[in-house]
Amino acid sequence: MNTQRENFGSKLAVILAMAGSAVGLGNIWRFPYIAGENGGAAFIIVYALASFFLALPIFYAESIIGRRSRANTFGAMKTLAPGTPWKWLGLITVLTPLLILSYYSVVGGWSIEYFFKALAFDFTGAPPDKISSFFGGFISSTWEPLIMHTLFVGATTVIVFMGVKNGIERFSKITMPALFVLIVAIAIYGCTLPGAGKGVSYLLKPDFSKLSGSAVASAIGQAFFSLSLGVGTILVYASYMRKEESIFSAGAYTTIADFLFAIIAGFAIMPAVFAAGIEPGAGPGLVFETLPFIFNQMGAAVPWLSATVAILFFLTILVAALTSSISLMEVGVSYLMENTRLGRKMATVLTGVFVWMIGIVCSLSFGPMSGIVIGGENIFGALDKLCSNWLMPFGGLLFTIFVGWKMSRADVRDEFTNGGTRSRGLFKLVYFLIRYVAPVGIIVVFITAILGL
Ligand code: PHE
């Protein structure tokens, strides 16, 4: 048993690491196409409400559990509710993030491939039909995506291997501000393209007629995925938070940063989509399939600029994905370190190998193993559905029930307010959201999903 626990070094480090976990493929790859499929601005309004009134309370619930127990998800349940079945929640939330990481790494691998292609100037000057058919050919091949997946898992493992302070904290501190500057620059560039105005009004003018029950459910699901909730990630990061820091502000800043990042990513992508006359509801391939095509078109005017934007854009996706993948891996690593005799290095390598192996199957499910279909989806799609539509909300629901109904109100208050010294005035509201609003909201999403509305 390894009893020496590390901590994040400062308030800024906590916020950047948490924001690093939240901001990822969910914002840049998932948000634009989900918003595009669900009507744009009206969806974004629901997404904003869901982020602040449903997701943020779960963020607080996980933070309270993590910092109170100072342990991994399993250890937290054993500390705060010894001898109860709650330990199963601790175990499920060790497994879910590793499952997510295995398919997340496949998409992370795609972004490495596209980054390399951008570096090789492949998008500048290639015939458009070659570019659009590339994505399908690439993901369905055997070796190339596997090599990229391996590189992505390898990079994640190396950072987590270095530990909380030297690895996670240092990496997030350098990359998060750079990422923000990059995405803002790309958004400004995207908005100046001829024909971009339609994309801008698509993001700003709500069309409530497109807002179906399932669009509302997708908005809530997106808020969950994007804020890394229900899988113990925020719990584990909060367990490295020092006692004097404010849980309220860590949650508020992370949620604001994550939300802003998604919106800015929308502005980086949607105007360009409209400028190129592409359908906003084109699906998961939106970023990978259409942007290189757009970069290529721009390249006709100013080749070096389009190549630079392409390189920066795929680098942005890659770095954002890495600051999220390390947070997913840390959940498994902290569990192994604190519940077995393994040290950080061995725990990281074992977790990496486990994730890599499941990821191989996910990657091959677009090619040689595409014949295996579960519920109409390949293995990758089925695993994504299982995790984001079921396991994440389920974990989130149980975390809020744990904090709202199992822990004593005095303990919850003590942890949230740092012993009655901070954010006291907000406690009542936050506690109400944790106890009632968030659980009811999640149950509604479940029912919507079960009934297939
Ligand atoms: N929030 C991350 C993203 O948007 C994904 C993630 C989910 C990370 C769950 C950690 C835990 O890409």
Backbone angles phi, psi at 374, to 5 degrees: -120, 120
User: What per-residue confidence (pLDDT) applies to 444?
Assistant: 81
For 386, residues 6+ apart whose C-beta sits below 8 A from its C-beta are 99
User: What per-residue confidence (pLDDT) applies to 55?
Assistant: 93
pLDDT at 389 > cutoff 90: no
Residue scoring higher pLDDT (165 or 82): 82
Q: What residues pair up with 374 in beta bridges, in sequence order? A: 377
Q: Is residue 58 part of a domain?
A: yes
User: What per-residue confidence (pLDDT) applies to 293?
Assistant: 65
Residue 25 Cα: closest atom of ligand 1: 12
Record the pTM: 0.90
Q: What's the start-to-end Cα distance of the chain, in Å?
A: 48
Q: Is residue 5 part of a domain?
A: no
- Position 147: which residue type? I
Residue scoring higher pLDDT (375 or 27): 27
Q: Is the CB of 27 under 6 A from ligand 1?
A: yes
Q: How confident is the model at residue 2 (pLDDT cuts 50, 70, 90)?
A: very low
pLDDT at 394 > cutoff 70: yes
Write out pLDDT tens, residues 91-144: 999 999 999 999 999 999 999 999 999 898 777 766 666 766 788 889 999 999
User: What per-residue confidence (pLDDT) applies to 83?
Assistant: 93
Nearest-angstrom CA–CA distance, 281 and 356: 31
Mean pLDDT calculated for residue range 259-285: 83
DSSP secondary structure letters along 87-147: HHHHHHHHHHHHHHHHHHHHHHHHHHHHHHHHHTTTTSSS-HHHHHHHHHHHHTSSHHHHH
User: What per-residue confidence (pLDDT) applies to 14?
Assistant: 83
User: What per-residue confidence (pLDDT) applies to 426?
Assistant: 93
The residue contributing the CA closest to ligand 1 atom 7 is 228
Q: Is the CB of 24 under 6 A from ligand 1?
A: yes
Q: Of 21, 31, 323, which is best to mutate to test ligand 1, by the most ligand atoms within 8 angstroms of its C-beta? A: 21
User: What per-residue confidence (pLDDT) applies to 40?
Assistant: 87
Q: Is residue 4 part of a domain?
A: no
Backbone angles phi, psi at 31, to 5 degrees: -55, -50
User: What per-residue confidence (pLDDT) applies to 355?
Assistant: 98
Q: Is residue 226 part of a domain?
A: yes
Q: Is residue 6 part of a domain?
A: no
The residue contributing the CA closest to ligand 1 atom 6 is 228
Structure tokens at 125: 């000057």
Write out pLDDT tens, residues 315-330: 888 988 999 999 999 9
Number of structural domains the chain divides into = 1
Q: Is residue 163 part of a domain?
A: yes
Mean of the per-residue pLDDT values for the chain? 88
Do residues 233 and 330 lie in contact, with contact meaning Cβ atoms separated by under 8 Å? yes
Write out pLDDT tens, residues 134-168: 888 899 999 999 999 999 999 999 999 887 777 77
Q: Is the CB of 328 under 6 A from ligand 1?
A: yes
Q: Of 33, 73, 92, 225, which is best to mutate to test ligand 1, by the most ligand atoms within 8 angstroms of its C-beta? A: 225
Residue scoring higher pLDDT (83 or 6): 83
User: What per-residue confidence (pLDDT) applies to 1?
Assistant: 43
CATH number of the domain within which 218 lies: 1.20.1740.10
Q: Of 59, 235, 328, which is best to mutate to test ligand 1, by the most ligand atoms within 8 angstroms of its C-beta? A: 328
pLDDT at 452 > cutoff 70: no
Residue 317: count other Cβ atoms within 10 Å of its Cβ.
27
Q: Is the CB of 22 under 6 A from ligand 1?
A: yes
Q: Is residue 295 part of a domain?
A: yes
Write out pLDDT tens, residues 329-372: 999 999 999 999 999 999 999 999 999 999 999 999 999 999 99
User: What per-residue confidence (pLDDT) applies to 283?
Assistant: 67
Q: Is residue 396 part of a domain?
A: yes
Rounded to the nearest whole angstrom, what is the distance from the C-alpha of residue 407 to the centroid of ligand 1? Answer: 27
Lowest mean pLDDT among 152-161, 167-176, 304-313, 419-428: 167-176
Determine the structural domain holding residue 417 and report its residue range.
11-451
